[in-house]
Structure 1
Amino acid sequence: MSLLRYWHQRDFLNTFRVVQFCLLANSLPIIFPLIACLHQGERLDHRSCEALEVVLKSLHFDFINLQAAQLEENGASSLLDMILYYESTTHLDISDNSSMGTSSWRALAHLIKQSVCLYRLDVCNVALVDYPVQALSKALRSSRLTVLHLQHVQLSGMPLYTLVGALKTNQALRELHLANNLLNSYQDALHLRDLLRFNNTLQTLELSNNAVADAGKCSYINPRTTWFTVYYVDVW
């Protein structure tokens, strides 16, 4: 069967058998178009995730986009473990994967805590409550991440309190994006002020489309000097 026919198939197992052949043949120019079939919204089940190992152990990526990949529990855990083991990427997006369970979040937390290459993580459009926010927060205490996107993850209240508690001692994070989290101008604003009071390395905090998105509250939330940036979009 020709490579062109494989190119147009959506069967990951067949696709990565071809990738494996290309690796053995040192045919890197052929590999990259094949990898391009991994795009936002493509479903990755457990078998598909396992098939990706031949690529992850051979190539390093600037960006792995698993957004809306419908990651299953076992598949997500295996894939995240592989990304950590092979240090496969510097930027990972796992947004819009609402089926991730306890073992998946545990694997993600382990990746965040242990990876020496991962510098940006996007976890958006999921419910970051209970165990997910606890696992993520614990890992962030000592992670090397410099950019974290947590848009639309239901952070208001206890989840934000848990996250802030971890980030107070984080010495690596430079950008924190918290748009669309229904953060309020009272308790949530106090948590954010505590974060900026104790964390001296964070340089950018995005609060677009939240109830705290009021330019008049900028000085209240931000006790820092002028080099620190708080982004607001007042839509309320």
Structure 2
Amino acid sequence: MANQTGTSFLTLPVELIHGILDHQTDYTILCSMRNTLTTLDLRSNKIGHVGAQHLGDVLQHNTTLTTLYLGWNEIGDVGAERLARGLRHNTILTTLELGYNRIGHVGTQHFTDALRYNTTLTTLSLESNKIGDVGVQHLIDALQHNTAIVILSSSIPYIYHHFLISSLTTLSFESNQIGDVGAQPLAAALRHNKILITLGLGWNEIGDVGAQQLANALRHNTVILIFTLSKPCIDLYFFMKALTTLGLRCNKIGHVGAQYLGDALRHNKTLNILGLGYNQIGDIGAQNLATALRYNTALATLGLESCLIGDVGAQHMANSLRQNTSLTTLSFESNEIGDVGAQHLADALRHNSTLTTLGLGSNQIRQTGAQHLSDALRHNKTLTTLGLGYNEIGDAGVEQFADALQHNATLTILSLESNKIGDVGAQYVGDALRHNTVLTVLDLRSNQIGDVGVQQLANALRHNIGLTVLDLHGNRIGVFAAQHLADELRHNTTLVTLGLTYNKIENVGVQHLADRLRQNTTLAIRNRWRNQVGGDVLHEIKEFVNRIREEEDWPLLY
């Protein structure tokens, strides 16, 4: 019998696969998903409620799909009903993203009914819909019933532990017109549903009253499970974490609400991340939160960006940092702390041994504040990321930081975006890079560095063995500087990403980079089309680099 060789769909040429799929309906494609597909991203496809119905039908039978992205598809309440029907019977899907779909409280009620039966969904994202306070109440009702029985067996004979946990662990309600009324049932749910670990409530209308309700829930949001063993007089106590992340950015919380939350943090043992940015907390609210940090031993990340906090509030926060041993990330961008507030925080950094990330962008910090912070860096042994973008430290301020970098052995990411740094400041930075071996990411975007300054940086790159990311976007770099960069990059073996968008290097400058990069096997240049570069030259440079990273891929604080 002749041998017959089967052809797998996965082994076909990609052009042929596209040709086949172009002639199939969405429903046919969905129904054919078997055995392998685990993640499907259909965002921004105008699926509507009809497409949602097809997806709902597929979810009832599919046994592989675990993640489904459906944002920006105009699904509405009718489509939500169809998807909810599928969730009733689905036992595989764990993540469902439905942001920006015009789903109101009616559609939310359908999901509520489905969650009473579904025991596998762990993440439900409904940001930027219209669920409102009524829709929140529906979902909270579901959380009371959304449980799965888990049996833990022990190596000790005759011991079995039975307890109930909820399957849903992440809820995202951002931008849903939720006010104090909706916050009340959410708070009540936190007292009973003991496994929800992430709750996103940003961009809503929750004020001080709603903050009070949530704060009261945080006081009690710690689970103690007591397992009674079959042997006499033996009790096993097991603590399980509950809510660990609470997002409340951009609501209407003032200093009164901050006080309620601060009081709760004194007692809460589980919350790790609290986002309060873009509220009206002010110095008084900052004082209340800072006082809580003296006693709290769990919170690791606190977001207070754009909260109308001045140097007085910064002083309160600095005082707490001298005693707090858990906070690792403090986001303080877009406040009004100035040089005085920067001095307070700098003094705290001399004594703090846990903070690793500090964001101080857009805080009216000038040369004096830069001097205090740079002095702190000479003594601090834990800070790894410092964001100072959109301040006014200038060349004199960057000189202080450059000197500190020659002595600091921990800072790996430094953002100095938009700080009025010119060629003189770039020379100071270049001198520091010749000696510093720890800094890996340096952000100098939107400054005033020209060809002379870039020449100094390029000379430093010849000797530097630590820097992997250098962003020079939006400076005054021309053809001459590009040529000098190209010459020096032949000797550098550590720089991975170089950002040159929005400069004036033109075709000739890029040609120099392309010629020199034939000998460099590590660098990726982020150039895009903002340098008046022709298509042929850009194509040539792509042949010699590993990848071109888009601007939004860069993990920089400002």
Q: TM-score range by the shorter chain?
A: 0.7 to 0.9
Matches within 5 A, 1:43-192: 43-53=336-346, 55-56=348-349, 57-100=351-394, 102=396, 104-143=397-436, 144-184=438-478, 186-192=479-485
Higher relative contact order (CA 8 A, sep 6+): 1
> 1:181, CA displacement in angstroms?
1.9
Kept in 2, the 8 Å contact 1:16–1:52? The answer is no
Of 335, 338, 342, which aligns to 1:42? 335
Of 255, 258, 283, which aligns to 1:11? 283
Kept in 2, the 8 Å contact 1:213–1:233? The answer is no
Query: What is the CA deviation profile of residues 142-192 of structure 1, one whole-angstrom value per residue up to 9, with x for unaligned ones?
Result: 1121111221222221111121122211111122222222322x3122111
2 CA distance for matches of 1:69 and 1:173?
A: 27
Number of residue pairs aligned between Structure 1 and Structure 2: 231
1 CA distance for matches of 2:470 and 2:302?
A: 33
Q: Which has the larger radius of gyration?
A: 2
Query: What is the CA deviation profile of residues 176-232 of structure 1, one whole-angstrom value per residue up to 9, with x for unaligned ones?
Result: 222222322x31221111221222222222222333365963523524244432222
2 CA distance for matches of 1:74 and 1:84?
A: 16
Gap change, CA 1:106 and 1:233, over 3 Å in 2: same
Kept in 1, the 8 Å contact 2:367–2:392? The answer is no
One-letter amino acid of the counterpart of residue 82, structure 1: A
One-letter amino acid of the counterpart of residue 234, structure 1: W
One-letter amino acid of the counterpart of residue 156, structure 1: G
Aligned CA RMSD, in angstroms, stands at 3.2
Gap change, CA 1:34 and 1:182, over 3 Å in 2: closer
One-letter amino acid of the counterpart of residue 296, structure 2: S
2 CA distance for matches of 1:16 and 1:97?
A: 24
Kept in 2, the 8 Å contact 1:60–1:87? The answer is no
DSSP-derived class of the 1:70 partner? coil
Matches within 5 A, 1:191-202: 191-202=484-495
> 1:111, CA displacement in angstroms?
2.5
2 CA distance for matches of 1:108 and 1:177?
A: 17
Gap change, CA 1:183 and 1:142, over 3 Å in 2: same
One-letter amino acid of the counterpart of residue 27, structure 1: N
Of 22, 28, 31, which aligns to 2:297? 28
Query: What is the CA deviation profile of residues 86-112 of structure 1, one whole-angstrom value per residue up to 9, with x for unaligned ones?
Result: 23421112111124462x323211222
Gapped regions of structure 1 (runs ≥ 5): none
Kept in 2, the 8 Å contact 1:142–1:170? The answer is yes
Please state which structure has a larger fraction of its residues in strand: 2
Gapped regions of structure 2 (runs ≥ 5): 1-254, 263-279, 308-330, 533-558
Query: What is the CA deviation profile of residues 35-84 of structure 1, one whole-angstrom value per residue up to 9, with x for unaligned ones?
Result: 66652221223432333257533353342112111113323211232244
Gap change, CA 1:77 and 1:88, over 3 Å in 2: farther
Kept in 2, the 8 Å contact 1:44–1:72? The answer is no
DSSP-derived class of the 1:74 partner? helix
DSSP-derived class of the 1:92 partner? strand
DSSP-derived class of the 1:27 partner? coil
2 CA distance for matches of 1:101 and 1:152?
A: 14
Kept in 2, the 8 Å contact 1:65–1:94? The answer is yes
Kept in 1, the 8 Å contact 2:259–2:288? The answer is no
